[in-house]
Structure 1
Amino acid sequence: MRLCDFLDFDSVRVSVPSGNKRQLLQTLGQIAGQRLGFEPSAIVDSIVERERLGSTGFGGGVAIPHGKVEGLQTIYATMVRLAEPIDYKAIDGAKVDLVFLLLSPPDAGAHHLKALAAVSRVVRSADTVDKLRGARSRDALIAVLMAAEERDAA
């Protein structure tokens, strides 16, 4: 599975106001809810439920909040770069500024894991993460993501 199969390019955001983790999750719920036609609270509830199991702070300033949403038909993802890093309770203790939201249908088990793996493949490269931080526009962020995915596919 490739990132371009499920990333909603139109919802990628740069310089999202950060606040705190709770506010970030609310913002992600708003973005995804608007794009998917879902109540933002259903999305937020799903990712908060997953966060209760342990932080989705991936490390290196990256978080991948994810959840399963009743009624969702396909895997959906978006990416935001925060205006300022926040304390996300990441596994390495680092503040987070790059966030990938991943939502899946409740029965998407293996596909959900493959989507998570696709995101993690892209962000495990320090070079890619640095380029994401340096991108100044949505289009630049998307170009970095697609270039990283192409390198991984080669």
Structure 2
Amino acid sequence: MFLTEVLDRNSVAGPVSANSKRNALQIVADLAERTLGAYGLEADAILQGLLEREKLSSTGVGQGVAVPHAALPGLTRMHGVFIRLETPVSYEAIDDVPVDLIFALFAPEDAGTEHLRALAKVSRILRQKELREQLRQVDTADALYALLNRTETSHAA
């Protein structure tokens, strides 16, 4: 699985302003609705899926990164959304560091191991310190998308 298979240019935004974890997840859900709306999914349902998953444990994986995810009815393939926040928000991350980089994944309800592999890949890519620093320096969604795309192709082997 390549990030470019789940993440299209219209699913990337930043820098955006959020004042809480819930507000950040609402922004993710609103952005996701642009592509997931084709499956009949609205932002409210997407947000509920994310919040239900967060009840289990925080998806803040550390170093200012969160990888929220949800299995949603009607999806036929994996979809992703990436946002960079202007200012980090408290996210109950494993290292207690506020989050400003959020890569959300949405999977079909029966995705199984495909969902787990996608989560592992996103986490691996965002563990790269240099990439995180670059993502925090750029000021447009196009630049964010280009960085994620370039990183993927340079690490595809």
Same fold (TM over 0.5): yes
User: Whole-Å Cα distance in 1 between the matches of residues 62 and 94 of structure 2?
Assistant: 6
Report what 1:138 is aligned to. 141
Out of 122, 125, 136, the residue aligned to residue 119 of structure 1 is 122
Which residue does the alignment assign to 1:49?
52
1:24 is matched with 24
CA distance in 2, matches of 1:149, 1:34: 23
Q: Could you report, residue by residue, the CA deviation over 1:7-55 in whole angstroms, capped at 9, with x for unpaired residues?
A: 1221200111111011111121111123211111111111111111100
Farther-moved stretch of structure 1 (104-113 vs 135-144): 135-144
Task: Find the residue that maps to 1:153 and give its secondary structure.
Answer: coil
What's 1:150 paired with? 153
Deviation for aligned residue 1:86 = 0.3
Structure 1 stretches of 4+ moved >4 Å: none
Q: Tell me the equivalent position of 1:65.
A: 68
How far 1:147 moved relative to its partner? Answer: 2.1
Q: Is the 8 A contact 1:121 1:152 kept in 2?
A: no
Check the 8 A contact 2:70/2:107 in 1, yes or no: yes
Answering whether residue 88 of structure 2 is matched by residue 79 of structure 1, we say no
Q: Distance in 2 between matches of 1:16 and 1:138?
A: 10
Deviations along 1:101-150, one digit per CA (max 9) or x if unpaired, are 11001000111111112211210100110011111211211121122212
**Runs of 5+ consecutive residues of structure 1 not aligned to the other structure:** none
Q: CA RMSD in A?
A: 1.1
Amino acid at match of 1:41: D
Which TM-score applies when normalising by structure 1? 0.95
Secondary structure of residue in 1 paired with 2:88:
strand
1:92 counterpart (59, 76, 95): 95
- SS of 1:147's equivalent in the other structure is helix
Secondary structure of 2:155 counterpart = helix
Q: Which amino acid letter does the alignment assign opposite residue 140 of structure 1?
A: A
